[in-house]
Structure 1
Amino acid sequence: MPLIYISYLKGRKFKKYWTWLLLIMSAIFIIHFISPSLFTGECQTKQRIISDWSIITVDDDNEFNSNNFSLISDSFLASRRQFMKEEIRHVAFLKVHKTGSSTVTSIIQRFGWARQLNFILPATSPNLFSQNESITTNNILHIDKDETYDILCNHVIYNKQAFQKYLPPDTVYIGIVRDPFDQFVSSVYYYKYRWSVPYLARLPIRYPIKYLLENPNQYEPKNYQNSFTKSRMSVDFGLPEELFHTTDKNKILPYLRKLHSEFKLVMIKEYFDESLILLRRILNWNMKDILYIIKNSSKYVPLRSYRDRYLHKQHSFLDYCLYNFFVRIFWKRVRQQGEDFHAEVSYFRQLRSAVEDFCSEVVKKSALPVQVFEAKENEFHSYIVINKEECVLLSMDEVEFSNKLKWRQFPHLRPMGNQRRHPRKRW
């Protein structure tokens, strides 16, 4: 302040310096006294929400006892319906190969299990109807005639007419896609080293991606539907065979627009949590319904180059058209969500991580006392409670859950005594 006063007294000669000093002092004042009040409100809100999470230790007489959890579920559903619109229970999820679809399937399976919904289930495999056709009378398990199917979420080729034959008219269709090159690389390593698919098993151990892309005619199956590595996402979405042999976008675009008219949402693997929040909002589900635990993450570091990506764009042109089309639609949908969308995504990530940490401890330590995780109602969800039984469900993989659902819907298929469970189908 003395410097400002001296500068002022010296008149016009130091007027420029006096003005700059005033600006600097004003900026310091704003930073120290005004800005904190702008940001602390948001931080305090986040801290308040997070402080509403807690882990409660309960005993046998407590209302949170796992034996009485059905009571919690009933009250939770009742409060949830007051919190938001009626949830949508008729869902068809197109499980696309190597796109993160197993995680989405597990979420949908858990949702249907809690509400005792009827799933369309494969007849001969825990998680696969067919690699090259849609659902048919021969590849599904049939329920009683007086019952209806609610959910479809296992591997199958998309065909709207076939789906409509078994699912209610108000069914919401959901799909998922992934960056085509990443999806291709994941498929090569998965089906070569884990499942030893014949045409991929013939690839050299070193540089399998390079050899496959440089010599596709030598390795790829003649039938495009038998390939896991050539425009496989487009195969799963049921694109017509003639589109796999053209690069004319004017021929491809009409079918992509048709898919857009039939699917309420196509999720994007690279924006998985954003996709789940969109899914939650479209289906009117609670945030608890879309929680997941990360599992089966790949440990390999594939060897690939820019030339590999260039060759792959020629190898799987149709998948790039499919992916780019739905990415544009996805971000248009996000922009329509309003200012709270990204705040909800950020909060969901924190909640999901906290639940995963809780469940990893609870599942490992089976000894008493029993603990539950609770999150109080806030602007993003109604009251949430997670106990050990739900942690076990969160930790289940897709095949385990598919068998669990199958044995509940069709008790006569449950293995008896030491009878071995139905083996997972190999390719």
Structure 2
Amino acid sequence: MTLRWLSSQLWRHRVSGLLAVLAVLLLLTLLATQSLQINRFAPSRTHELRPTEERRNHREPAHRHTKHHTQNTHQTPKQTSPTSDDQQRAHPPVVFLKTHRTGSSTVQNILFRLGERESATFAFPYHTYQFNYPDRFKAAFVDELPEGSSQFNLLCSNMRLDLTQVKQVMPPNTVFITLLRDPVRAFESVFSYYTSTVPAFLSAYRAAADTANRGKSALSVFLDSPNSFWDPNEPGNGLAKNPMSFDMGLNNQKWNTSWPEDLSQLEEAFHLVMIAEHFDESLVLLGALLGLDHEDLAYVRLNSRASDSVTELDKNMIAKLRSWNVLDTLLYEFFMQVFWEKARQFGLERLNVEVAKLRASTESVRQKCVSRAAVPPAELEDLLRPWQTESVTIVGYEVQGNLSLQDQGFCVRLMLPELQYHSHLYFRQYGRDMRAAPAD
């Protein structure tokens, strides 16, 4: 008991020591921020998951997605039935906490493909595509266990994390993973993507239209005085400050004394926290964790914005972004260190070799599958057209022609947007369309 107690104390001391170092770094960042600020102010139903010539020749304009809209993409070539009690999957159960605008749609696609290939049982939301976001996750938000399945194998739909509730749904041997991104880039992407739906962002967008702010981007106007737009009591403003901390279930409004313990619990719970700026290295570690080969991990980047939808950032804006999202900076720096600890345990030289192999395999898959990349939504058929927000343009992919049916099925799934794939897998599992969200 003494050794166990001592080990526990050392572990807590280790986390606290790391947090102290990070706190000093964050203080220096805030001081630099103040200096900069002083200087400045002196879809439709489809019949199969493959494109057809008819659809290529009869494209329709992109339609807007609403809260109650679902896309039916479930009529596909015959698949095997969901995993039954007497079947053993080759990989452990997985929970992927899908964070916003971090590259998580790409990781989700990898897991969707894996789950479909293995006839895994997905823990899907009871309504639509998200687990009652932005409410904290509850076990009651999950749809029923399908007949013939003894447990859920994969949970990778959007939610705000509550570890205790998630563990009530998933088996004890579940692997927990998530993905974090540099807070500056993550927030810029969140702001542009959700300008019309997050109240704080929408207010800044409207203010940017005033003559007094002529020539300024909405993001720049927001960062000039974020507290004037942000109401912490507005439920829809969860993503408006420290959005990654919010998704991770942390207090995203301000530092409090529970943060060190909360970070320690997250580090203990998550087997891998991937880093977007080291995406391929992250995938190699994910592959080692789940027993996946290079083709399993091959990807194209999904839910990406057109280049003209990305806001250019100057040094002053970057400093303000870090200051406004200081808790996300702490979260990111903490798990960056944890990530490289895991990389060293894996072996850095070995990691570099495996990354090179993954990139070669991914490039081969892309050349086989992708006819055109960064395709505007108006030029994409419904099946492969990503959901479009009112404030940004999301581009997609066009599939190569003259593929075998097997290759075409693989390639379409590789580039299938999140909502279409989610809807397809839901129908495959339950034999019905997804339920719309209840009316307010």
Verify same fold: TM over 0.5: yes
Match of 2:365 in 1: 355
The CA deviation at 1:314 is 2.5
Equivalent residue, structure 2, for 1:230? 241
User: Which residue of 423, 430, 438 corresponds with 1:403?
Assistant: 423
Write the letter of the residue equivalent to 1:290: L
Retained in 2: the 8 A contact 1:122–1:128?
Answer: yes
User: Aligned pair in 2 of structure 1 residues 424, 331: CA closer, same or farther (>3 Å)?
Assistant: farther
1:157-306 equivalent positions in 2, closer than 5 A: 157-192=160-195, 195-203=196-204, 204=208, 206-223=216-233, 226-227=236-237, 228-239=239-250, 241=251, 244-246=253-255, 251-298=258-305, 299=307, 300-306=309-315
Counterpart secondary structure, 2:274: strand
Q: Deviations over 1:78-124 (max 9, x none)?
A: xxx9xxxx842300000011111111111101100111111111122
Which residue does the alignment assign to 1:120? Answer: 123
Counterpart Cα distance in 2 of 1:112 and 1:148: 14
Aligned to 2:97: 94
Q: For residue 253 of structure 2, give the secondary structure of its aligned residue in structure 1.
A: helix
> Structure 1: which 5+ residue stretches go unaligned?
1-66, 71-80, 373-385, 415-421
Q: Does 1:321 align with 2:321?
A: no
Counterpart code for 1:307: N
Q: Which amino acid aligns with 1:184?
A: F
Equivalent-residue separation in structure 2 for 1:426 and 1:359 (angstroms):
41
Normalising by structure 1, report the TM-score: 0.68
Equivalent residue pairs, number: 319
Contact 2:127 2:437 in 1 (8 A): no
Aligned-partner Cα distance in 2 for 1:210–1:365: 41
Q: CA–CA distance in 2 between the matches of 1:423 and 1:191?
A: 21
Question: Alpha-carbon deviation of 1:399?
Answer: 0.9
Which residue of 345, 355, 358 corresponds with 2:355?
Answer: 345
CA separation in 1, counterparts of 2:310 and 2:193?
Answer: 12
**Cα pair distance change 1:302/1:149, threshold 3 Å:** same
Q: Percent identity?
A: 27
Contact 1:209 1:304 in 2 (8 A): no
Q: Contact conserved, 2:152 with 2:169, CA < 8 A, in 1?
A: yes
Task: Please give the alpha-carbon distance, in whole angstroms, between the structure 1 residues aligned to 2:341 and 2:235.
Answer: 32
- Alpha-carbon distance between aligned partners in 1 of 2:106 and 2:130, rounded to the nearest angstrom: 13
TM-score (ref. length: structure 2): 0.66
Long gaps (5+) in structure 2: 1-76, 81-87, 210-215, 373-397
- Summarize the Cα distance change of 1:364–1:105 in structure 2 as closer, same or farther, 3 Å threshold: closer
RMSD: 3.0
CA gap 1:96/1:68 in 2 versus in 1, 3 angstroms: closer
Instruction: Please tell me whether the aligned partners of residues 371 and 388 of structure 1 are also in contact (alpha carbons under 8 angstroms).
Output: yes
CA separation in 2, counterparts of 1:179 and 1:278? 19
The Cα offsets for residues 341-367 of structure 1, whole Å up to 9 and x where unpaired, read as: 101101211210121111124974555
CA distance in 2, matches of 1:390, 1:284: 20
Determine which structure has the larger helix proportion and give its number: 1
> 1:302, 1:68 → 2: CA distance?
44
